[in-house]
């Protein structure tokens, strides 16, 4: 898989599923990597906000110095988790949990990158890729994510998909770090933070998967496009049911 193929597949995925925004490529920048010249280096953004910019067409970089969400900063290994969050009291303050022990356990269970492993994160629309992504993220309607999940399931031989979430750190941990470290797809409902800080709608969910799976996912997504996707979206079985209901109503003397 090369960059040209990534761009082509990103465009094809958007077209097949009628995605409302761009699939986003995520590339972790290591200490010796050079930042892409054409990417905008964001100032004081949360990771979920950087993702929002990329899904809307922008090529951006978020560094450890400029990431503004302390939970995401810890997740990516940029700096330690503040004591207020680590203790669970911060989540009580936000009204997310009523028991600080619950909040504490939620943070203890987070999958994280090692400290100082990366210096920044490059986020870009997949169809405008300039490098091979480590992870790919899609934010859209659950029905559209369902088809990607089905294509992934086919790529892995039919193994059932298991997802992990604490309804916290949905974009940084659930959609980025888990797919990267566990080498698998992960689906999440979103979280308080990303729904408060971005344009993610109440009808949208989030999915992340390793970039290496893109060719296999696209291969089966094209197969699904031939029959399963259009037939399901046409809701033929529902039309038959409605037709039977109308016939029964007429037989009983209804209008």
State residue 222's pLDDT score.
96
Q: Mean pLDDT per segment of 10 residues, for the chain of length 255 residues?
A: 95 97 97 89 97 98 96 95 93 95 92 93 97 97 97 94 94 97 96 95 97 97 95 89 69 59
| Alpha helix positions (H), the chain | 3-17, 47-55, 70-75, 83-86, 89-93, 100-108, 142-155, 178-182, 192-197, 214-226, 228-234, 236-251
The pLDDT, as a whole number, for residue 191 is 95
- Read off the pLDDT of residues 116-161 as tens digits, 9 standing for 90 and up: 999 999 999 999 999 999 999 999 999 999 999 999 999 999 999 9
pLDDT at 24: 98
DSSP letters for 147-174:
HHHHHHHHHTTTPPP-----SSSIIIII
pLDDT of residue 1: 83
pLDDT given at position 250: 62
Pair 22, 125: CB distance under 8 Å: yes
First to last CA, the chain: 60
> What is residue 33's predicted lDDT score, i.e. its pLDDT?
87
Domain count, the chain: 1
Residue-range definition of the domain harbouring residue 34: 3-251
């Amino acid at each position: 898989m090369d960059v040209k193929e990534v761009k082509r597949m990103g465009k094809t995925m958007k077209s097949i599923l009628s995605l409302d925004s761009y699939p986003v490529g995520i590339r972790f920048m290591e200490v010796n990597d050079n930042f892409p010249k054409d990417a905008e280096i964001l100032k004081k953004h949360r990771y979920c906000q950087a993702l929002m910019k990329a899904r809307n067409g922008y090529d951006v970089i978020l560094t450890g110095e400029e990431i503004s969400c302390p939970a995401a900063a810890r997740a990516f290994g940029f700096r330690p988790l503040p004591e207020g969050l680590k203790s669970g009291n911060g989540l009580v303050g936000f009204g997310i949990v009523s028991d600080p022990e619950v909040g504490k356990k939620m943070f203890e269970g987070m999958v994280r990158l090692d400290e100082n492993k990366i210096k920044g994160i490059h986020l870009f629309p997949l169809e405008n890729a300039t490098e091979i992504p480590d992870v790919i993220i899609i934010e859209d309607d659950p029905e559209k994510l369902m088809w990607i999940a089905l294509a992934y399931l086919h790529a892995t031989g039919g193994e059932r998909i298991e997802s992990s979430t604490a309804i916290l750190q949905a974009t940084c941990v659930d959609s980025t770090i888990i797919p990267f470290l566990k080498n698998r797809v992960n689906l999440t409902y979103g979280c308080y933070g990303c729904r408060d800080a971005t344009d993610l709608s109440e009808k949208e969910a989030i999915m992340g998967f390793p970039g290496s799976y893109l060719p296999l996912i696209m291969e089966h997504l094209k197969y699904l496009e031939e029959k399963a996707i259009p037939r399901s979206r046409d809701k033929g079985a529902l039309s038959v049911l409605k037709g039977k209901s109308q016939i029964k109503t007429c037989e009983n003397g209804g209008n």
